[in-house]
Structure 1
């Protein structure tokens, strides 16, 4: 019999869909459960202690309900704060999401890279460590933007995203001293690739954006190598189901929508 266990993706909102897309391209038959902690959204403005307590507890409930073969924390903020605790608490493999500083440094010609994430992510010591290990010869500028997270959520809910709003959020990174030399920007929030076109239009010519989605997808393939897949109904889960969540769900091709 084919294996019906899904891959579980978890984020505070819809940002993790930017990780689902490259995973689906590599594993087209994998059943997926996508869980959005809409009741806790946004994580980027919450304290580390709140996230450290909330994320392992929620993932424990999700794993108990859906029995996935592996879980993906498709959120940089949750991963940089809670990944070790989640791995200790769960009995399934857990894949985290961390800022793609290493590939950004490999791509950069100017040796000045930007890290664009949430306020919680960009201040984490984990980011300091990644910069020291993989971009030691680069200037690494950071900016946390709650506005871009909200804009990505609005876009997935079918709302228009004004270019001025995206440009204003990006300016917080590019207008720092030395920001004019940035040639690679790390999208250190899974929401931001959902605004790829808008960010590219707002950025100066020659600036490239990189995110961890494709690398995470390859890691999922590696961890599930040799396993059977049975196509099943993809499930979208919210921890709160209000009007925003209804609009988001209406635009996505999930067979079932559930509340946790």
Structure 2
């Protein structure tokens, strides 16, 4: 795997664990939306972000492929960069791999994602919720179990968004606009009247990066919900419980970026969406 920067964070021993970085990964730039929420909730922490760009997008791959890649990337973060915790910043990878990652590293805090259906149920007034996601996420057992558990509490309209994550990955603005319009039209009617969708779940980590475009298409009466803030809160809880929060006096405002492919797009996206120093 090629990387954008070397790391010396894999020093053995338990005493330095709070000072080690949190590893965050996705198949590409989408997980930057989760990283943004993590940095806001945990400003004193260090982060290593890994984009598996040579094998993206996960959402259009099979479970076995995603599992193998998730294991390889997690190993790079844990063994290569000394990550004290992992955040699987991808719905598809969470569904396909998090149980295996937790079995492989039972003492490592590992936080995953799930589409924010529960917050959407709490937010809806019409009882009709739209879900934009990849086919891999919508087909996963984890998503189907969550959907089934909540089906009696609201009506969910599920829309696979082929091509949208890939367009975001390429920073292809015309295709982002076209794909966003295509899939928001396909999902149905938005509004505040009975039977209309008033709450829209952004069920892929790429989608919050273009939430202004999506919001403009669905209208101000529709609430957009993603998983970033919930993941950040859970990460803070598990680090606190494990005694792994980094001391505030050690804070630095730097994100280390690594990728299995070219890092040029990742660097540009991180500067654009995170507004921070990257190395």
Q: Normalising by structure 2, report the TM-score.
A: 0.82
Please state how far the C-alpha of 1:114 moved relative to its aligned partner. Answer: 1.3
Q: Can you list the C-alpha shifts for 1:53-95, whole angstroms capped at 9, x where unaligned?
A: 2211221122101111110000001101111011111241100
User: SS of 1:133's equivalent?
Assistant: helix
> Are residue 167 (structure 1) and residue 181 (structure 2) matched?
yes
Where in structure 2 are there 5+ consecutive unaligned residues?
1-14
> Are residue 11 (structure 1) and residue 26 (structure 2) matched?
yes
Q: In angstroms, what is the RMSD of aligned CA positions?
A: 2.5
Please state how far the C-alpha of 1:224 moved relative to its aligned partner. Answer: 1.7
| Cross-structure match for 1:51 | 66
User: SS of 1:167's equivalent?
Assistant: helix
Equivalent residues in 2 for 1:69-218, closer than 5 Å: 69-90=84-105, 91-155=107-171, 159=173, 163-174=177-188, 181-218=196-233
> Are residue 24 (structure 1) and residue 45 (structure 2) matched?
no
Q: Can you list the C-alpha shifts for 1:133-153, whole angstroms capped at 9, x where unaligned?
A: 234232211111132212322
Question: Does the 8 Å contact 2:50/2:73 carry over to 1?
Answer: no
Q: Normalising by structure 1, report the TM-score.
A: 0.87
Please state how far the C-alpha of 1:205 moved relative to its aligned partner. Answer: 4.5
> Partners of 2:220 and 2:263 in 1: how far apart?
40
Where in structure 1 are there 5+ consecutive unaligned residues?
none
| Cross-structure match for 2:83 | 68
> Are residue 228 (structure 1) and residue 249 (structure 2) matched?
no
The structure 1 segments of at least 4 consecutive aligned residues displaced by more than 6 Å after TM superposition are none
Please state how far the C-alpha of 1:193 moved relative to its aligned partner. Answer: 0.4
Question: Does the 8 Å contact 2:30/2:209 carry over to 1?
Answer: yes
Please state how far the C-alpha of 1:190 moved relative to its aligned partner. Answer: 0.5
Distance change in 2, residues 1:136/1:195 (3 Å): same
> Partners of 1:250 and 1:106 in 2: how far apart?
34
